[in-house]
Amino acid sequence: MMTGDWERRLYVTAHPLAYPLLRAAARRGPIVRVPGVGVVVNDASLARGILTDGETFRKDGPGSPGELWTPVLGPSVLLNMEGEAHRVLRRRLADLFVPSYTEALCARVLEEPLARLTGRLRDGAAVDLVDAVRVLAGAVIGEVIGLETRTEPAYRDLFEQGERIVAMVSLRTRRLSPAQVRRARAVLDPLGDIAAKAYAAGDESTVMGRMRTLGLAEDEARGAAGAFFLTGTETVATLLPRLIALLADHGQLARVAADGALLDRAVDEAMRVTTPTPVMLRSVHRPVAVGVVEVRPGDRVLIATHNCCRALGPFDLDRPHPPELRRLWFGAGPHFCLGYPLAMAQIRLVARTLLAAGPLTITRRAAARGVLIPTYRELAVRVGRGMA
């Protein structure tokens, strides 16, 4: 297989029916009404306009993320809120993940596992980056929610629990069934108890303790911990192997390893191509024209973030992103991802460590099935020469 085909293979393997339909929608224009799906937006400028208009396009109506996640996470977790209540909670959380705190947290939590990873690579072992970054992402989210058992098996188990919940969702899912809600709550309720214990301890060096200091009630802190658990781990864990693969497939690994200043540009470009949030949902609250389409209250708007991002073209480390596209995969406006600094701190630290270990070569890889965010099932690398 040509190396440039791997990203498409990941998407098709994860969503064999929905992905071709999503890409077909892109060919029908910037915005199109699709029966049974909703109003599909394929243009970055239109998408940004919708995301920044929280009065018209909401996350708490029919067909929105609120309808999907409120039964699982409760009513107050930012991703299902709008209006003054959302603004108040967002202000309280504004200082939770400042870069200085997230960088220190990741450096502390990941120091030992990254040292072990570096040692394995420098000893000549082939390392499966998919498994490795799951452990790393589990370690960070375990620290966020206050997990007491801090071993690699515990981190793998934590990641797999979140993966099982997220895998219940497809690109076309409107709501979870009662059975799915029960399965999700069976995972999240015990984690909420762990988070509540850390919250009650009030240690300001911990994320849960910081939430208490910032004025969150216990139920708000529990809900926030659940939301971070569901949305944060897979973004990081799926992106890092795909970042390394994209750099390798386009002959850019050595260049980024030699010039650390290129890393943020490489991460942004990899996120544009991989699009960790392939679609975003909104519910229309009042009538308005979006491009050539009139939307009405109750309409479901599906922002095809992947189509918006891929319209710029294939992976290209030297092509700047236009303003309307800038980090669109993390959202825009009042719902721009609160955990962005934490995700970036993890990605930068792990990517720098991998690039510094030596010239990496991909030795084998395979695409994952049955996942929401397309990813590799396995991506093995070693230092030195090998087969891609």
* CATH number of the domain to which 279 belongs: 1.10.630.10
Residue 387's pLDDT is 45
Residue 27's pLDDT is 95
The whole-angstrom separation of Cα 165 and Cα 44 is 29
Q: What percent of the chain has pLDDT over 90?
A: 57
Residue 334 lies in a domain: yes
pLDDT score of 388 more than 50: no
Residue 111's pLDDT is 95
Supply the range of the domain harboring residue 66.
Answer: 3-383
Q: What percent of the chain has pLDDT over 70?
A: 96
Residue 69 lies in a domain: yes
Residue 1's pLDDT is 41
Q: pLDDT tens digits, residue range 47-104?
A: 999 999 988 998 887 777 777 788 887 776 666 777 777 788 888 888 888 899 999 9
pLDDT score of 385 more than 80: no
Residue 337 lies in a domain: yes
Q: Give the residue-averaged pLDDT of 248-275.
A: 95
Structure tokens belonging to residue 181: 């809600």
Q: Residue 379 is inside which H or E element, if any?
A: strand 376-383
pLDDT score of 224 more than 50: yes
Residue 328's pLDDT is 96
Residue 11's pLDDT is 95
Residue 124's pLDDT is 94
Residue 167's pLDDT is 80
Residue 333's pLDDT is 87
Q: Per the structure, how many domains does the chain have?
A: 1
Q: Which of 87-91, 309-313, 321-325 has the lowest mean pLDDT?
A: 87-91
Give φ, ψ of 295 to 5 degrees: -105, 150
Q: pLDDT tens digits, residue range 153-212?
A: 888 888 888 888 888 877 677 788 889 889 888 888 888 888 899 999 988 888 899 889
Residue 371 lies in a domain: yes
Nearest to 81, CA basis, from 267, 283, 273, 376: 283
How much helix, strand and coil, in percent to the nearest 5, is found in the chain?
55, 10, 30
Q: pLDDT tens digits, residue range 14-34?
A: 999 999 999 999 999 999 999
Give φ, ψ of 382 to 5 degrees: -145, 165
Residue 49 lies in a domain: yes
Q: Give the residue-averaged pLDDT of 104-127.
A: 95
Is 301 in contact with 31 (CB distance < 8 Å)?
no
Q: Give the residue-averaged pLDDT of 343-349.
A: 96
Residue 388 lies in a domain: no
Q: Give the residue-averaged pLDDT of 103-121.
A: 95
